């Protein structure tokens, strides 16, 4: 009997699955299997799982919608905890909305629009969750989550903390949660009252721009690389002549060079090889190193 068999006997309500393929849980549609996989139904269950892996010395990976995640083909040797529907509640509060970590950013933006609250229109098409979005300070079209966050609820080594937004060290694709290895449980968003027609119009405009410029019909992780200071990653990649470049099933999008897409049957190794090819070529052509925005985890086969 291994450690998780014993854990399940102690905590029979918590279901832990074994050898679960992670490709269906990431928007890139690649990745090997997790040794163990759980979707807790409450913060109590989440805390119990985190205590268990700490006692056992088992690696743990938290994920939401898997939209900014590349799992290697060998999978993850440990426990993957997915914060899903049980952590997706969105509610009003005095100055805007509060949302749990598993809530989709698109759902949060829609809730804000329905309540005639402005400030989250840019998030309408971001495929991630509140937890991942806060963790990396997700943004688009000049907007960032950090600009409208009043406070963040985090789990810090078993202790729940409410951290003011001003203390979260938000920067470009960065937050204090990264620095402290905090688990984001939810956030409060301070929003302003607006005109619903204008909010809806802005969201339609962002959606139309995404449809026109982004390869939405292919699996991807959104912008694969961070924006280098003074440059745009997509422009540098296109200038280097890499639009349409393909390694296996992974391809630099012909529609937007900042996107690496799964053109069909791609492996994580294909994406990693294409990433390195793009990095090396762009650095040779322009002297700029492209840092991945996508989080890369797991083991090689």
Specify whether 238 is catalytic: no
Set 173, 175, 188, 220: catalytic member: 173
177, 109, 104: which is closest to 143 by C-alpha?
A: 109
Tokens describing residue 35:
């040794």
| Residue 195 known to be catalytic | no
What's the 3-state SS for 65-123? Answer: CCCCEEECCCCEEEEEEECCHHHCCEEEECCEEEEECCCEHHHHHHHHHHCCEECCHHH
Query: CB-based burial of residue 196 (10 Å sphere; 0-12 exposed, 13-18 middle, 19+ buried)?
Result: middle
Separation of alpha carbons 25 and 43, rounded Å: 21
The active-site residue out of 39, 121, 144, 293 is 293
First to last CA, the chain: 26
CA distance 64 to 52: 20
Using CA atoms, how far apart are residues 219 and 196, in angstroms rounded to an integer? 32
Could you say which of 88, 151, 223, 267 is catalytic? 223
Residue 14 CA: distances (Å) to CA of 154, 212, 279: 22, 44, 43
Token pair for 69: 């995640």
Closest C-alpha to 19, from 83, 103, 80, 92: 80
Chain centroid offset of residue 101 CA: 11
Rg (the chain; Cα; Å): 20
267 is catalytic: no
Catalytic site residues? 173, 223, 293
């Amino acid at each position: 009997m291994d450690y998780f068999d014993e854990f399940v006997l102690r905590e029979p309500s918590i279901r832990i699955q074994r050898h679960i393929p992670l490709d269906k849980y990431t928007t890139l549609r690649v990745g090997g299997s997790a040794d163990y996989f759980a979707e807790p139904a409450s913060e109590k269950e989440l805390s119990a799982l985190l205590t268990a892996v700490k006692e056992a010395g088992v690696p743990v990976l938290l994920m939401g919608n898997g939209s900014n995640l590349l799992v290697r083909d060998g999978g993850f040797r440990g426990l993957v905890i997915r914060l899903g529907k049980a952590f997706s509640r969105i509610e009003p509060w005095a100055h805007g909305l509060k949302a749990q970590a598993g809530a989709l950013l698109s759902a949060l933006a829609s809730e804000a629009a329905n309540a005639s609250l402005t400030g989250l229109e840019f998030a309408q098409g971001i495929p991630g969750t509140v937890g991942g979005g806060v963790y990396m300070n997700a943004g688009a079209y000049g907007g960032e989550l950090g600009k409208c966050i009043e406070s963040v609820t985090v789990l810090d080594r078993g202790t729940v903390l409410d951290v003011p937004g001003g203390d979260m060290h938000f920067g470009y694709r960065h937050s204090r949660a990264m620095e402290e290895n905090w688990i984001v449980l939810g956030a409060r968003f301070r929003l302003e009252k607006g005109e619903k027609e204008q909010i809806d119009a802005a969201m339609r405009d962002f959606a139309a721009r995404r449809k026109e410029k982004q390869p939405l019909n292919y699996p991807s992780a959104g912008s694969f690389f961070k924006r280098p200071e003074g440059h745009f990653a997509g422009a540098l990649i296109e200038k280097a002549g890499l639009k349409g470049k393909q390694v296996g099933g992974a391809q630099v999008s012909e529609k937007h060079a900042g996107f690496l897409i799964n053109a069909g049957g791609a492996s994580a190794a294909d994406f990693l090889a294409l990433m390195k090819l793009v990095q090396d070529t762009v650095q040779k052509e322009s002297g700029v190193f492209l840092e991945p925005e996508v989080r890369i985890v797991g083991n090689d086969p």
